[in-house]
Homo-oligomer: A and B are copies of this chain.
Amino acid sequence: MEHITSRKNPSVQQAARLLSSATFRQEQGLFLAEGARLCRDAVRSGLVVPAAYFTAKALEKYPAYAEEIRQAAQTVYVVEPHVAGLLSDTKSPQGIFCVCRIPGLPEGFPPQARAALALENMQDPGNLGTVLRTAEALGVDGVVLGGACCDPFGPKALRASMGAVFRLPVLVEMDLPCALERWGRQGWRTMAAVPDTGAIPVTQADFSQPTLAVVGNEGNGLTPETLQVCGERVTIPMRGRAESLNAASSAAILLWEMMRTRTG
Which A residues have a C-beta under 8 Å from some C-beta of B? 126, 130, 133-140, 160, 162, 164, 167, 203, 236-246, 248-249, 252-253, 256, 259-260, 263
The reply to whether B137 and A238 contact each other, CB–CB distance below 8 Å, is: yes
Q: How far is the CB of A138 from chain B (nearest CB, A)?
A: 6
Q: How far is the CA of A231 from the CA of B30 in the complex (A)?
A: 49
A203 touches B260 (CB 8 A): yes
Q: Determine whether the beta carbon of A246 is less than 8 Å from that of B160.
A: yes
Q: Which residues of B contact A140 (CB under 8 A)?
A: 240
Secondary structure call for the A interface: helix
Q: How many copies of the chain does the oligomer comprise?
A: 2
- Bound complex: CA A199 to CA B14 (Å): 47
Nearest-neighbor residue (CB-CB) of A262 within chain B: B239
CB of A247, distance to nearest CB on chain B (Å):
10
CB-CB under 8 A for A244 and B137, given A253-B253, A256-B256? yes
Q: How far is the CA of A37 from the CA of B79 in the complex (A)?
A: 46
Pairwise interchain contact B139-A239, C-beta atoms closer than 8 A: yes
Instruction: Evaluate contact between A249 and B248: CB separation under 8 angstroms.
Output: yes
B249 contacts A136, C-beta separation under 8 Å: no
Q: Is the CB of B249 within 8 A of A249?
A: yes
User: Within the complex, which residue of B162, B245, B253 is in contact with A244, where a contact is CB–CB below 8 Å?
Assistant: B162
In whole angstroms, what is the CA distance A160 to B124 when docked?
Answer: 13
Q: Which residues from B are CB-within-8-Å of A240?
A: 135-140
Q: How far, in Å, is A123 (CB) from chain B's closest CB?
A: 13
What CA separation (Å) do A55 and B135 show in the bound complex? Answer: 42
Cβ-neighbour of A137 out of B126, B162, B245 (below 8 A): B245
Which one of B130, B203, B239, B245 lies within 8 Å of A246 (CB-CB)? B130
Give the chain B neighbours of A139 by CB distance below 8 A. 238-240
Residues of B within 8 A of A243 (CB): 137, 162
The complex places the Cα of A259 from the Cα of B240 at a distance, in Å, of 11
In this complex, which of A126, A237, A240 has the most chain B Cβ atoms within 10 angstroms of its Cβ?
A240
A244 touches B130 (CB 8 A): no
The CA-CA distance from A137 to B243 in the complex, in Å, is 7
The residue of chain B having its C-beta at the shortest distance from the C-beta of A162 within the complex is B244
Give 25 pairs: A residue, B residue, CB < 8 Å, sorted on A.
A126-B126, A130-B248, A130-B249, A133-B245, A134-B244, A134-B245, A134-B246, A136-B240, A136-B241, A136-B244, A137-B240, A137-B241, A137-B243, A137-B245, A139-B240, A164-B244, A167-B241, A203-B260, A236-B256, A237-B263, A239-B263, A248-B248, A249-B249, A252-B252, A253-B253
